Chains A and B, each alone.
Chain A
Amino acid sequence: MEALKPDAGSVRGKNVAKIRDEILYQPILKTGKGFYMVFAFLSLVVLFAAFAYFQQFHKGLGVTGLNSPIFWGIYITNFVFFIGVSHAGTLISAILRISKAEWRRSITRSAEVITVLVLFFGLGNILIDLGRIDRLLIVIAHGRFQSPLLWDVVSLTTYLTASSIYLYLPLIPDIALLRDRMPGGFRKGLYEVLALGWAGTEKQIHYLEKGIGIMAVTCLPIAVSVHTVVSYVFSMTIQPMWHSTIFGPYFVAGAIYSGIAGIIVAMAVLRKVYHLEDYFRAVHFNGSSGSCILLT
């Protein structure tokens, strides 16, 4: 499927493109020493975080250093930040897809993955911020729709669902490529299930393109609404400095801004680590930085 493959470059021949694409499979087929080192380091960080959370769960929120009147601290800041970064993906890739910007092809995937992962970080921060995590289900059983926090719950779960589908749909042909390449084993089976019997026929491509188009158009208003709603959590109270009409647009603009910055960092890392200089080219960095400047 042409639209979903990385930019092949019209000047070079088809064979060159095929050899060049080979590099894209390397990170999945081979695992280097660097991966295990980063994995070990991050596992340590996760273990430490789990220990810290257990401390908080056991002793109470007092261990955080919050007090009165600073009832919300780094957790809620983190939540707003990660929800902001999550805007990168779906919003940027949907805008670029709808505006048919051809240079987008190599960056949309990383953008969409950032969205889905980072949304989980944001939601996680809300969960560890609760004083009584054991009563979480009360929000569903006895939720009050007058509260902006419940608007948040609704819009975030919608956004998470929509952006996960939007990530998965364009992945199907690529999963099929991996399925064909895998020699066997557990991952072959996994890819076979996930590829949903993709064979690349004309009919399948037609339906997939249609599905992606619908999801792109759906994601745009959801993405804008999510961050507006996050800002409502603050601006709907009567606290000085929070009670402000500019919060909605301010949060959305800030979110897109930090989101694009997030993509640029991710692109730079992927480019260096996996030697993808042919895929993340100057045009992508120029385009993303241009969008950042546009928003300042």
Chain B
Amino acid sequence: MIRWGMVIDLDKCTACQACVVACQIENNIPPPSPEEAAISRSIGWMRMVENIEGEYPHIKAHIMPVPCMQCENPPCVKVCPVGATNKSKEGIVDQVYGRCIGCRYCVNACPYTVKSMNWYKPAWPKEMMNSLNPDVTVRPKGVVEKCLFCSHRIQKAKDRAKAEKREMTPDDYIPACAETCPSKAISFGDLNDKDSTVSKLARSPRAFRLLEELGTEPNVYYLREGA
């Protein structure tokens, strides 16, 4: 069985935020109004988390892209009262928008704060309305949403493989952020396959995961900077 995983090399990452934009376009994430963004209401499945040390001009900035960690042991799945968020067989933490009652318990339980609430009905500028991705549901107001590793692309890859009368391989599918990354900092693939790029990188001495001590077992690995 495939276990999807992601490795983000922080040495290669230039913090250009192309992955953020690609994610917003791919997954029909509405751009927030400046007022909403100011009170931290913006929805982002891929976010840039920054840690800036020192005073200008002696400044050192650490910037890392943070998608959903797709934990092996997800705290959000445990607390959902209706099973609207659950763990797929291939290791992706799903969100069923039609089941979600909007209690926001999972959002509170997530230690990475990567889940977002739809505070209002999503809205786009008029010009963008015709360029929404037809493969991805537009979420209604009052439900929680999160990064799904572009799981609609898995379904497409499976359909394509079936049409070509073959099994789907991990190479058939890649999420929008990893596809877009110009410096190839994001690699994506099957963590269960020992020879895959991600699984080799995940075993490198530079690899670490966020808040590992919580025991959530994230499937997203980072490679340490300057090591």
Interchain CA distance A116-B181 in the complex, whole Å: 59
Taking A60-B120, A71-B117, A130-B102 as contacts, is the C-beta distance between A139 and B141 under 8 angstroms?
Answer: no
Contact A237 B75 (CB under 8 A): yes
Q: A135-B101, A237-B108 are in contact. Are A143 and B141 (CB under 8 A)?
A: no
Check B119 against A130 for contact (C-beta < 8 Å).
Answer: no
Tell me if B113 and A68 are in contact (CB < 8 A): yes
Contacts known (A71-B104, A139-B101, A238-B75); A62 close to B80, Cβ less than 8 A = no
Contact with B along A15-49 (1 / 0, CB 8 A): 00000000000000000000000000000000000
Give the interface size class of chain B.
35 or more
In the complex, chain A residues 153-205 whose Cβ is within 8 Å of any chain B Cβ:
153
Does A138 sit at the interface, judged by CB under 8 A?
A: yes
- Overall SS of chain A's interface: loop
Could you tell me if B79 and A236 are in contact, using CB atoms closer than 8 angstroms?
yes
Give the chain A neighbours of B216 by CB distance below 8 A.
238
A147 to B104: give the CA distance in the assembly, Å: 13
B131 contacts the other chain (Cβ, under 8 Å)? no
The answer to whether the Cβ of B152 comes within 8 Å of any Cβ in the partner chain is: no
Which B residues lie within 8 Å of A150 (CB)?
Answer: 81
Q: For residue B44, which residue of chain A has the nearest CB? A: A68
Whether a CB of chain B sits under 8 angstroms from the CB of A13 is: no
Interface string of B91-112 (1 = CB under 8 A from A): 0000000011111110111010
CB of A138 within 8 A of CB of B119, answer no
Q: Contact at B41–A62, with CB atoms within 8 Å?
A: yes
Q: Do residues B81 and A147 form an inter-chain contact, with CB atoms below 8 A? A: yes
Q: Is A14 an interface residue (CB 8 A)?
A: no
Determine the distance from Cα of A61 to Cα of B41 in the docked complex, in whole angstroms: 11
A129 on the B face (CB < 8 A): yes
Task: Check B52 for interface membership: any CB of A closer than 8 A.
Answer: no
Report whether A144 and B82 are in contact in the complex, using a CB–CB cutoff of 8 Å.
yes
Asked whether A146 is an interface residue with its Cβ less than 8 Å from the other chain, the reply is yes
Q: By the criterion CB–CB under 8 Å, are A143 and B108 in contact? A: no
By a CB distance below 8 angstroms, the chain A residues around B40 are: 67-69
Residues of B within 8 A of A148 (CB): 79
**Closest chain A residue to B122, Cβ basis:** A60
CB nearest neighbor in A for B38: A67
Interface size of A in residues (CB-CB distance below 8 Å):
33
B101 and A138 contact, CB distance less than 8 A: yes
B1 within 8 A of A: no
* A142 and B121 contact, Cβ closer than 8 Å, known pairs A130-B103, A237-B109: no
Residues in A whose Cβ lies below 8 Å from that of B117: 61, 66, 68, 71, 131
B190-226 CB contact bits vs A (8 Å, 1 = yes)? 0000000000000000000000001010000000000
**Residues of B contacting A144 in the complex (Cβ-Cβ under 8 angstroms):** 80-83
Which of B36, B82, B102, B104 is close to A142, meaning CB atoms less than 8 Å apart?
B82
CB-contact partner of A237 in B79, B113, B120, B141, under 8 A: B79
B182 at the interface (CB under 8 A from A): no
Residues of B within 8 A of A138 (CB): 82, 99, 101
Decide yes or no whether A136 CB sits under 8 A from chain B: yes
A59 interfacial by beta-carbon distance below 8 Å: yes
Contacting pair A147 B105 (CB below 8 A) = yes
| Contact A71-B102, Cβ < 8 Å, known A60-B121, A131-B143, A150-B81 | no
Binding site for A on B (CB under 8 A): 36, 39-41, 75, 78-83, 99-105, 107-109, 111, 113, 116-121, 140-144, 214, 216
Binding site for B on A (CB under 8 A): 59-62, 65-69, 71-72, 129-132, 135-136, 138-139, 142-144, 146-150, 153, 233, 236-239
Known: A129-B103, A135-B99, A135-B101. 9 other contacts (CB 8 A): A60-B118, A67-B40, A69-B108, A130-B102, A142-B83, A144-B83, A147-B105, A149-B81, A237-B105
